[in-house]
């Protein structure tokens, strides 16, 4: 899908619902197209997705805040009467259910008009200090009084501004620290997004648990993601250590990342003692035959004899020595 007004202009569209306070992802549904949705649901797109995403919270007396893509009068009535939920959302001025009101040219900046029914409140607000007059329409089943805030702004708009940013903030967190990789496979692209969403939700739950216990510093999300990634790879990395064909640098790296002790084999002499062993002198396995260089130094891993030119002593802190007896 192509939406030029969005930061990600094209891709697979996902419709989200988030908690307004913690930004926790509560649900998600993919956009399947206008015609397909209308054939299966028989209602508008915003109506269908709002009702489906709020289904786990029906009859809980909760409120949902939506933008003008979702908000409609039939949706508001359906949620209130059949689902036990209230709604606060912006509304497009071209909705056929709206009554005739004064146009924005006939209104003074900073003025508010309220329209009431038995179940709904419609707010028409002209913001002050704007070059071009802009008419803001909000529909609410949560508010029933024409209350204004300290700055003369309607209480409905103040509530909307406090609760509207859950999805946008969640998208921003996904973009800030992302595990996305360039791919042409759309299932893999969706999987990357699922991983990003799962990490954010895990951080939110982890932070909430730490705040309950108290006295523990909450880590930054970047450090939390690093610890989480290491916790995921540690069991698989340790499992790879049992492979006899694993390259030594990779084996050492796994032990370093997993904080495992370096294992040194003590069945064979090392260091200065190795040069004094009573092995018979044999031609070096690495030198050309014409050199005919003899040695008693034996490699602890492959058991081949090598001369001083091909022997590099290394301490056990720098190199893990895993030797299998021949």
Q: pLDDT, tens digit, for every residue of 234-255?
A: 888 888 888 878 887 888 888 8
pLDDT at residue 28 greater than cutoff 80: yes
Confidence at residue 87, expressed as pLDDT on a 0 to 100 scale: 92
Give me the mean pLDDT over the 271-300 stretch: 74
Per the model's pLDDT, the better-predicted residue between 92 and 300 turns out to be 92
Contact 9, 3 (CB under 8 A): yes
- Is residue 90 classed as helix, strand or coil in its secondary structure? strand
What mean pLDDT is predicted for residues 256-281?
60
pLDDT of residue 326: 37
Find the distance separating the first CA and the last CA of the chain, reported in whole Å.
Answer: 62
Tell me what the pLDDT averaged over the chain comes to.
81
287-293 average pLDDT score: 85
Q: Provide the pLDDT for residue 201.
A: 93
Q: How far is CA 42 from the centre of its chain?
A: 33
Res. 23 pLDDT band, cuts 50 70 90: very high
Q: Flag whether pLDDT at 273 surpasses 70.
A: no
Q: What is the pTM of this model?
A: 0.70
* Residue-wise pLDDT tens digits, 68-102: 889 888 899 999 999 899 999 988 888 877 777 65
Q: Which of 121-125, 198-202, 321-325 has the lowest average pLDDT?
A: 321-325
> Could you tell me the residue ranges of all domains in the chain?
14-172, 173-240, 261-326
CB 5, CB 13: distance < 8 Å: no
Q: 293 pLDDT band (50/70/90 cuts)?
A: confident
What is the rounded CA–CA span in Å between residue 224 and residue 178? 13
Please check whether residue 44 is in contact with residue 97, taking contact to mean a CB–CB distance below 8 angstroms: no
Residue 280 predicted with pLDDT over 80? no
Phi, psi angles (nearest 5°) of residue 49: -70, -35
Given the structure tokens 């692209």, which residue do they identify?
189
Q: Are 51 and 79 in contact (CB under 8 A)?
A: yes
Residue with the larger pLDDT of the pair 157 and 93: 157
In the block, tokens 């009431």 appear at 116
- Which tokens is 141 given? 């089943």
Q: Residue range 4-23: average pLDDT?
A: 85
In this prediction, residues 163-170 reach a mean pLDDT of 89
Spatial distance between the Cα atoms of 95 and 84, rounded to a whole number of angstroms: 24
Give the separation between CA 309 and CA 225, rounded to whole angstroms.
Answer: 46
pLDDT interval class at 215 (50, 70, 90): low
Identify the pLDDT of residue 323.
Answer: 40
Whole-angstrom distance, CA of residue 245 vs CA of residue 250: 11
Helix (H, G, I), strand (E, B) or coil at 34: helix
> Structure tokens of 92?
């497009």
pLDDT band of 153, cuts 50, 70, 90: confident
pLDDT class for 315, splitting at 50, 70, 90? low
What pLDDT does residue 317 have?
52
Residue among 46, 49, 37 nearest 91 (CA) = 46
How far is CA 316 from each of CA 92, 227, 245, rounded to the nearest angstrom?
71, 27, 20
Of 28-37, 176-185, 308-317, the poorest mean pLDDT is in 308-317
The stretch 15-39 carries a mean pLDDT of 85
Residue 37 has pLDDT above 70, yes or no: no
């Amino acid at each position: 899908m192509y939406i030029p007004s969005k930061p990600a202009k094209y891709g697979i569209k996902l419709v989200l619902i988030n908690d307004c306070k913690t930004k926790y992802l509560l649900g998600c549904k993919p956009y399947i197209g206008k015609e397909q949705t209308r054939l299966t649901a028989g209602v508008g797109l915003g109506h269908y997705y709002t009702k489906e995403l709020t289904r786990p919270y029906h009859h809980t007396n909760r409120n949902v805040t939506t933008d003008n893509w979702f908000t409609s009068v039939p949706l508001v009535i359906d949620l209130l009467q059949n689902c036990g939920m209230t709604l606060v959302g912006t509304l497009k001025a071209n909705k056929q259910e709206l009554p005739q009101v004064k146009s924005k040219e006939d209104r003074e900046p900073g003025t508010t008009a309220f329209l009431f029914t038995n179940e709904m409140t419609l707010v028409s607000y002209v913001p002050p200090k704007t070059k071009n007059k802009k008419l803001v329409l909000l529909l609410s089943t949560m508010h029933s009084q024409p209350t204004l805030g300290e700055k003369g702004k309607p209480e409905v708009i103040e509530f909307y501004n406090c609760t509207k940013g859950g999805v946008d903030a969640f998208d921003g967190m996904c973009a800030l620290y992302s595990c996305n990789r360039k791919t042409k496979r759309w299932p893999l692209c969706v999987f990357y997004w699922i991983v990003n969403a799962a990490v954010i939700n895990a951080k939110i739950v982890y932070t909430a648990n730490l705040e309950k216990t108290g006295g523990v510093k909450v880590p930054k999300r970047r450090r939390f993601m690093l610890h989480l990634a290491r916790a995921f790879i540690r069991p698989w990395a340790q499992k790879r250590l049992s492979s006899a064909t694993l390259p030594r640098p990779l084996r050492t790296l796994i032990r370093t990342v997993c904080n495992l002790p370096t294992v040194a084999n003590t069945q064979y002499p090392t260091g200065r003692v190795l040069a004094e062993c009573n092995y018979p002198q044999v031609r070096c396995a690495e030198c050309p035959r014409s050199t005919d260089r003899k040695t008693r130094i034996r490699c602890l891993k492959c058991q081949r004899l090598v001369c001083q030119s091909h022997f590099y002593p290394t301490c056990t802190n720098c190199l893990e020595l895993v030797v299998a007896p021949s």
